[in-house]
Structure 1
Amino acid sequence: MVLKMKKSMLNVITLALVLINLVLTVILTFSIVSTTKKTDNLITKVAEIIDLDVGGGISSNNSGSSLAVSDMETVDVKNSDDSTKITLSLLDSNNKIHYAQVSVVLTLNKKSRDYSEKRSSIDSGMQLIVNNVNTVVSSYTYDTALQNKSNMEAELLSKLQNLFQTDMIHSVAINLVIS
């Protein structure tokens, strides 16, 4: 009889431990799912901020949408003398002048609805583009220019899209050499 009571008591303890384990597993599962959703949302927001393509595929450096290579056209920004190097002066924190050579390449979306009508305005408005490059790059100091190249590209993209009133300009790539 004592043996049966001990066996019964062990069964009750085992059942209690199984129920406790089940409750703790449910609690753990709900807390992990909740945390995982929050983490996924955070990663998505951060990826959008730094402009990564979370869903995979091709991502341009300044735009959130993908563009096939066959739909792209690149245009070198040129000075009035047809050189692709734009020379600017940048001040450092000690007000010392440094010179920067800037090359800019625009990527145009050939599938854009206004590509045919706006494409010629890009060539004819090249000096306006050069002026915008000067304005954007000169707004940075020597100390901050290289660290903020992606910000420069995004700012220049926005200015050019507003200037030409089109989203045909898909991205801007800046090559910056400072001496």
Structure 2
Amino acid sequence: MKKSFLNVITLALVLINLILTVLLTFSLVSTSQKTDDFISKIAGIIDLDVGTTSTGATHSDSTTVGIGDLEVIDVKLSDGTTKITISLLDDAGKVHQSMVSVALSLNKNSKDYTKLRANVDNGMNLIVSEVNKVVSSYSFNVVLSNKANMEQQILTYLQDTMFQSDIVYSVSFTGLVVQ
């Protein structure tokens, strides 16, 4: 009788162990999936490649261009300065000033590069105007947190409207100061 009672206790402990193992497995799998999603989001924010195609805010397609194939130029005002001063309103209606310096990365491998390169220099006033329009559309309180959105808006305008080409690979704010 003792032997049979020990077998029943052993069987009960084995079943409890099996149930706890299943619960532990399901809880670890869901936690690891959440952790993986979290790490992917963080890597996407800092623009790391984690095995997926890049959807960065500063270039329009997933093809990458080597640094040697890029020409970086500063957006300049008509007087040759690179700092664009823009007025911003805060939520209370008070006027603030911001200074923005913008750099364009031109794709030397673009099929339109030789044809449009001179147009980039000639169109600097229009580019400055677009930068002014995009940055001033944001309020003083949110302008710094929307830097990537502003860069993407300017890039989309340059690629789709102004040049109708992929000659402009990226737009970068090299300096953004608000006061």
TM over 0.5: yes
Matched, 1:135 2:133: yes
In the alignment, the residues of structure 2 paired with residue 159 and residue 123 of structure 1 have an alpha-carbon distance, to the nearest angstrom, of: 16
| Percent sequence identity over aligned pairs | 55
**For residue 173 of structure 1, what is the aligned residue in structure 2?**
172
Number of residue equivalences: 172
Map 1:77-156 to 2 at 5 A: 77-156=75-154
Larger Rg: 1
State the Cα distance separating 1:78 from its structure 2 match.
0.8
TM-score, length of structure 2 as denominator length: 0.76
State the Cα distance separating 1:125 from its structure 2 match.
1.6
In the alignment, the residues of structure 1 paired with residue 102 and residue 86 of structure 2 have an alpha-carbon distance, to the nearest angstrom, of: 13
Bigger RCO (CA 8 Å, 6+ sep) = 2
Structure 2 gap ranges (5+): none
State the Cα distance separating 1:156 from its structure 2 match.
1.5
TM-score, length of structure 1 as denominator length: 0.76
**For residue 16 of structure 1, what is the aligned residue in structure 2?**
12
1:74-104 per-residue CA deviation (whole Å, 9 max, x = no partner) reads: 1100112221122222222333322222211
Structure 1 gap ranges (5+): none
Instruction: Name the aligned partner's letter for residue 167 of structure 1.
Output: D
State the Cα distance separating 1:45 from its structure 2 match.
6.0
Distance verdict in 2 for CA 1:24–1:84, change over 3 Å = same
Alignment RMSD (CA, Å):
2.9
